[in-house]
């Protein structure tokens, strides 16, 4: 009788345990992924909306440019491709395609700083965009066969250093530079940029969070004096 009770208890325990754990246990120790940035895309509200803040963009699509206009605080997305009739907006400062960048006639320097808002060191070298035919990849599906499709476009090599993507091995390795880049726009404005993240909270790559700092006129004068 005693043995029968032990077996009954054992079988009941086994049945309960197996039913409660069919699809696993301790789900609560994990975080639930969010498919977008915490506060949506575009310019995020900040205390000092005119001088500094964050821009979040969805750059997951290889066939899109996202144009950022720091004066009007707007972002605009266009399709890339022969069939596309999309044109760049009338006003924009920089544009982002995946992790690649281009500027609207500006030049960019890389600083040693990792905090925005610091003066530019003397002797900094600014680099303008270059025209490329092999940097803006629009179709990676032939990569393993050496057949990546590219769009011809201007490209800023210095600003694009904000994220290093090493594709020599699979899966690619991503490394943020963590540095501040100064963009000297053609109208004389200076903007400090730092790529603070390239993933959304769910870990999906291509969701870019860009911190920016627009230099006040007085500081811009100093910058211009230091770097004529």
Task: Point out which residues bind another protein (CB under 8 A).
Answer: 3, 6-7, 10, 13-14, 17-18, 21-27, 29-31, 33, 62, 140-145, 169-176, 196-199, 201-203
What kind and span of H or E run contains 207? Answer: strand 205-214
Minimum distance from CB of 168 to another protein (Å)? 8
Do 85 and 165 form a contact (C-beta atoms < 8 A)? no
Q: How far is the CB of 62 from another protein (least distance, A)?
A: 6
Rounded Cα distance, 100 and 91, in Å: 19
Q: State which residue, 59 or 185, has the beta carbon closest to another protein.
A: 59
DSSP 8-state secondary structure symbol assigned to residue 31: P
Give me the residues paired with residue 151 across strands: 136
Identify which of residues 51 and 137 has a Cβ nearer to another protein in the complex. Answer: 137
Provide DSSP, 97-127. Answer: ETTEEEESS-EEEE-S-SSTTPPPPTT---E
Nearer to another protein, 164 or 187 (CB): 164
Instruction: Report the nearest approach of another protein to the CB of residue 146 (Å).
Output: 8
Q: Nearer to another protein by C-beta: 85 or 168?
A: 168
């Amino acid at each position: 009788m005693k043995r029968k009770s032990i077996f009954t208890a054992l079988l009941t325990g086994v049945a309960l345990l197996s039913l409660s754990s069919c699809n696993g246990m301790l789900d609560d120790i994990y975080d639930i992924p969010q498919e977008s940035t915490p506060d949506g895309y575009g310019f995020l509200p900040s205390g000092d909306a005119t001088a500094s803040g964050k821009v979040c963009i969805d750059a997951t699509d290889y066939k899109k440019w996202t144009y950022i206009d720091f004066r009007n605080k707007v972002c605009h997305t266009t399709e890339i491709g022969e069939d596309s009739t999309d044109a760049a907006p009338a006003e924009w400062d920089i544009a982002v395609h995946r992790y690649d960048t281009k500027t609207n006639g500006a030049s960019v320097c890389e600083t040693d700083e990792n905090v925005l808002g610091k003066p530019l060191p003397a002797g900094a070298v600014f680099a303008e965009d270059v025209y490329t035919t092999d940097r803006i990849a629009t179709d990676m599906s032939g990569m393993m066969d050496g057949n990546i499709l590219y769009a011809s476009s201007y490209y800023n090599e210095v600003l694009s250093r904000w994220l290093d993507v090493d594709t020599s091995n699979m899966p690619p390795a991503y490394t943020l530079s963590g540095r501040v880049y100064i963009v000297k726009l053609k109208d004389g404005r200076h903007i400090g940029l730092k790529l603070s993240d390239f993933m959304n909270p769910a870990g999906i790559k291509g969701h870019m969070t860009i911190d920016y700092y627009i230099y006040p006129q007085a500081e811009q004068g100093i910058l211009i004096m230091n770097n004529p």
